[in-house]
Amino acid sequence: MKAHTAAAMVNLPTVTPSSLPPPSRFLVHYPFYSTKTQIALTNSHPSKSIRVSVITCCLNSTTEASTISSSHDEASPQNLLPPVKKKRKAYRRLRPGETQGITEEMRFVAMKLREKKLKVKTEKSDESDGSSDRETDGSDDNDGENSDDQTWEPELDGFLRYLVDSKFVFNMIERMVDESQDVSFAYFRNTGLERFESFSKDIEWLSQQNITIPEPLFTSKKYVKYLEDLAAESPPLFFCHLYNIYFSHIAGGQVIARKVSEKLLEGRELEICKWPGDPEELLKGMRDKLNALAQHWSRDEKNKCLKETSKCFMYMGTIIRLIIMR
């Protein structure tokens, strides 16, 4: 034991007590350590010399372990793989017109539907042009003059059915708006766009001309039942139909009604074409209210509204086509 101790120690020269300053302290420094360990030497036996043992070498186990582990980590297979790139955050692409409100988004959907219909008509016209190339130039000129008359031939019975079915639809949607207990329905009351009374007056005038008034068709009753379910289950989807019904009547229904009146009713001014103010301004008021209300809807609800836009124009197109029904 003493031999091992002596091997690990270095004997310092003998220090006499006389050469030591009165209470003194020797500092012993351990390599690789930042802290200093102090060994206090006191002169308990003045007559004896003091022999101090100093550690000359110290192994920093933590440093060695970290060095070994770091070298091991560098050689590990995981560090040989390329660094993993952090995925970039994906942002949703905005829909056309989304920054301007839900009504603008619905307008883009309506335009897309119109472009699709025009494309189908163009393809059909190209096919008919290919078959008509065999005809003479004189016959082509006559067909060109009468092409509009052939594609647009309104019938009084069909126009009456249009008035009856439109009255049925407007009556139901306006009644649902007035009677609903949902607070959001109050935004669309007394807008000046109401058409039920106007359709009723025109139908009453036609009934005085000894014309039998028919019942609404099954397709219109089905559409009204569908709107009733939407009003109870999902008001946002119902408001989508409400706005598009008024929009389609102002944008296309009035133009068609005036043309029919010129052809069949000697240019009589119909009640459905009369408004308490500028119809465009009245529609703008409803548009602003709907956009303000849609700010509180989720993106999923708005997407469903855009799908309902196609359904609305499909049903309203069916009602308008009643005018040319034979």
Assess whether 302 and 236 both reside in one domain: yes
Position 270 in a domain: yes
* The model's pTM: 0.65
Position 65 in a domain: no
pLDDT in tens, 42-75: 444 555 545 555 555 554 555 444 454 555 555 5
Assess whether 231 and 313 both reside in one domain: yes
Assess whether 288 and 217 both reside in one domain: yes
* Cβ neighbour number for residue 196 with a 10 Å cutoff: 17
CB 29 within 8 A of CB 38: no
Position 85 in a domain: no
Assess whether 157 and 302 both reside in one domain: yes
Tell me the mean pLDDT in the region 212-232: 93
pLDDT at 33 over 50: no
pLDDT in tens, 245-301: 999 999 888 888 888 999 988 889 999 999 999 999 999 999 999 999 999 999 899
Assess whether 192 and 113 both reside in one domain: yes
Assess whether 38 and 179 both reside in one domain: no
Beta carbons within 8 Å of 174's beta carbon, 6+ residues apart: 194, 195, 196
For residue 177, the domain's CATH number is 1.20.910.10
Position 316 in a domain: yes
Position 16 confidence tier, pLDDT thresholds 50, 70, 90: low
Higher pLDDT, 84 or 51: 84
What is the C-alpha to C-alpha distance for residues 194 and 272, in angstroms, rounded to an integer?
10
In 3D space, the residue among 81, 47, 68, 263 whose CA is nearest the CA of residue 154 turns out to be 263
Assess whether 157 and 40 both reside in one domain: no
Phi and psi dihedrals of 286, rounded to 5? -65, -35
- B/e letters for 251-265, b = 16+ CB within 10 Å, e = fewer, are eebbebbbebbebbb
Domain span at residue 284?
98-122+153-324
Percentage of the residues of the chain whose pLDDT score is greater than 70: 62
Assess whether 114 and 220 both reside in one domain: yes
Residue appearing with tokens 């660094």: 83
Position 72 in a domain: no
pLDDT at 128 over 70: no
Position 310 in a domain: yes
Residue appearing with tokens 């009643």: 322
Tokens representing 165 are 């079915």
Q: How many domains does the chain have?
A: 2
Assess whether 116 and 13 both reside in one domain: no
CB 106 within 8 A of CB 305: yes
Assess whether 189 and 276 both reside in one domain: yes
The whole-number pLDDT of residue 132 equals 52
Position 67 in a domain: no
DSSP string across 210-251: T-PPPPPPHHHHHHHHHHHHHHHH-HHHHHHHHHHHHHHIII
Assess whether 38 and 163 both reside in one domain: no
Position 175 in a domain: yes
Query: ∠ CA(180), CA(181), CA(184), 5° rounding?
Result: 85
pLDDT in tens, 146-196: 444 446 688 888 999 999 999 999 999 999 999 999 999 999 999 999 999
Look at residues 59, 74, 90 and tell me which one is the last residue of a structural domain.
59
Assess whether 226 and 318 both reside in one domain: yes
